[in-house]
Amino acid sequence: MKRKKYTIVGVDEAGKGPLAGPVAVAAIAATAKFKSQISNLKILRGIKDSKKLNAKQREEWKKILCGKFECHSALVGAKIIDKVGIQKATRLAVARVLRKFNPPAGGPHLILLDGSLFAPECYNQETIIKGDEKIPLIAAASIIAKTTRDAKMLRFHKKFPQYYFDKHKGYGTELHYKMIKKNGLCPIHRRSFCKFICREQKIKLS
């Protein structure tokens, strides 16, 4: 009788805090005969969460991860974030990304999520505080989420070069505040996140 394989999916997000652009959630699945084998995968040894890597290192890891594992990502944009709030938007992205997997019958055995993330109730799941520092599979997901979102922000930079999204990726940096003051808001700005600066600078939110 053939032994069933054990599947764990790591999930993390990027971009909950920026003033502009989408929130990204990524998920990466690892399968082995035993759960312990996934925890000790040699290929993930030395991996760090995306915040501790530079852009070049993240891209190098992305190539390795996408070549060895099933990886997916989902983006939820500024309009939905403004409509439902960042927490609900992020949970929507989690649900979307998990639906992209085509696992064996019964689905993944376990979903491991970072921080304050939660999967739909139908999944067996565990949310781990600072999971991107403790669990290699979550750290891997953080890299996919970050590189996916950065790539999207680079495309937005080409459409809205006056904001320099290639520099700050939509986060609230001094340069970004300066460009909002100069140019106002563009379609990818999160109005609900920009209320204070718009009020301070007397900029219309619409």
Partnered with residue 29 across adjacent β-strands are 9, 70
**Does 137 reside within a domain?**
yes
**Does 29 reside within a domain?**
yes
Do 153 and 176 have their domain in common? Answer: no
pLDDT in tens, 60-80: 999 999 999 999 999 999 999
Do 115 and 178 have their domain in common? Answer: no
**Does 1 reside within a domain?**
no
Q: Rounded to an integer, what distance in angstroms lies between the CA atom of residue 31 and that of residue 43? A: 13
- Tell me the average pLDDT across 150-166: 98
Strand 125-128 relative to strand 6-14, pairing: unpaired
Do 105 and 20 have their domain in common? Answer: yes
pLDDT in tens, 9-59: 999 999 999 999 999 999 999 988 766 767 668 889 889 999 999 999 999
Do 38 and 122 have their domain in common? Answer: yes
- Tell me the average pLDDT across 158-165: 98
pLDDT in tens, 92-142: 999 999 999 875 545 788 999 999 999 999 999 999 999 999 999 999 999
User: Which pLDDT does position 204 carry in this prediction?
Assistant: 74
| Residue 133: domain span | 6-158
Q: Are 24 and 16 in contact (CB under 8 A)?
A: no
**Does 206 reside within a domain?**
no
Task: Let me know if 103 is exposed, middle or buried by CB neighbors in 10 A (0-12, 13-18, 19+).
Answer: middle
**Does 92 reside within a domain?**
yes
